[in-house]
Amino acid sequence: MHNGRPYLLLATESDVQGAYSGYTQLARHIPDATLFRNFRREPRNVIERTAQRCLHQFTASRWYRFSSMRLELRAWLEYQRGFDGLVHILWGERDWGLIDRIQSRRRPKVCATFHACSDTLPDILRPGRLDKLDGIILMSESQRAFFLDRGVDDAKIEMIPHGIDLSFFNHDKNKKNDEFVVLFVGSYRRRFDLLKRVIDIVGAVRPSISFAIIASPDRTRDLQGLPNVRLPTNVSDEDLRGFYNASSCLLMTLEAATANNAILEAMACELPVISEDVGGVREYVADAGILVPPGSAEKLAAAILRLHEDSALADHLGHLGRERVKNFDWPMIATRTEAFYRRVLRT
């Protein structure tokens, strides 16, 4: 075991994820875990890109990078020094590549968490390698069919949702203001064309309703200059928490989803959620928000107008969200994850 700890957690990280939002928060709540992590770096020139393509001939994931390989090699070296616990690759779709293929006198027990949506996984993972994993953690039941269809034993699979830091994301009633603000957070797999249609519909009926859009500037060009839209930049974690608390509802227009940090964070701050009913959204939101069929700008706009007219409903949904999100508190998620580790080690 590594320093007496039976679990090694591996993750590459980017600078996109906030300090209180990432999946690596899990390691803080498992006392018997050691986290190996480094910065995820993309190839920068022709030589590096060519080397990356060669590497992908051998890796389980096509999102694998050399920074991922350094993590796996560190874990493998721990095994050669006598570590006999479990390796958990926190982002299986990007950091699982070689550890199960390295020739060794001792093969480590390896599990991986997969965050990507079921429509993305086929383009990322090599199906012939999936049976080499000893355990698989899903972020949503919407992913399960992908693995079962490729011959993975269902007994190896466990759905353990993403966690939320309730000590940081919490409700502050003093932040509320009289203006009705619709908050939108994130860029990955968001539908900005649909978002603009919603903004146009709401603006035509209730121009006093404003939208705060926290997203990458390259995704919000079509929203610049709209009179009812604000586009904050350089938003810190504390600023983000302030936006959740000062807004009236969270709007999510999504291509697909498994877990969604923005939804969990909004619920933690008692902000009612309005979203398309796609992927794993319902598993997280349940009755703590308004979910509408995918692609309907009219129904999303109607939901916003409904909450604008019915503050009691908005308060009720916000309260339900705060109560529900307690099930996703990191200590609870860590307990479930560690129970899964023990189960994998027994097999």
> Domain containing 152: what range?
7-163+329-346
In this predicted structure, what is the pLDDT of residue 193?
97
Q: Are 212 and 232 in contact (CB under 8 A)?
A: yes
146 with 204, same domain: the answer is: no
91 with 36, same domain: the answer is: yes
- Structural domains in the chain (count): 2
184 with 145, same domain: the answer is: no
**Which two three-digit tokens encode residue 118?**
């079921």
Give the CATH number for residue 254: 3.40.50.2000
127 with 261, same domain: the answer is: no
Q: Measured between alpha carbons, how far is residue 187 from residues 36, 111, 191 in Å?
A: 27, 28, 9
Task: Return all residues near 142 (Cβ < 8 A) that are at least 6 apart.
Answer: 117, 118, 258, 279, 280, 283
**38 φ, ψ (degrees, to nearest 5):** -155, 175
Q: Is the pLDDT of residue 266 over 60?
A: yes
78 with 215, same domain: the answer is: no
pLDDT digits (tens, 9 = 90+) for 49-93: 888 888 888 899 999 999 999 999 999 888 888 888 999 999 999
19 with 153, same domain: the answer is: yes
Place of tokens 């939101």: 285
197 with 274, same domain: the answer is: yes
pLDDT category at 172 given cuts 50, 70, 90 is confident
Q: Measured between alpha carbons, how far is residue 260 from residues 85, 284, 306 in Å?
A: 30, 8, 24
Q: Is the pLDDT of residue 190 over 80?
A: yes
**Which two three-digit tokens encode residue 87?**
């390796």
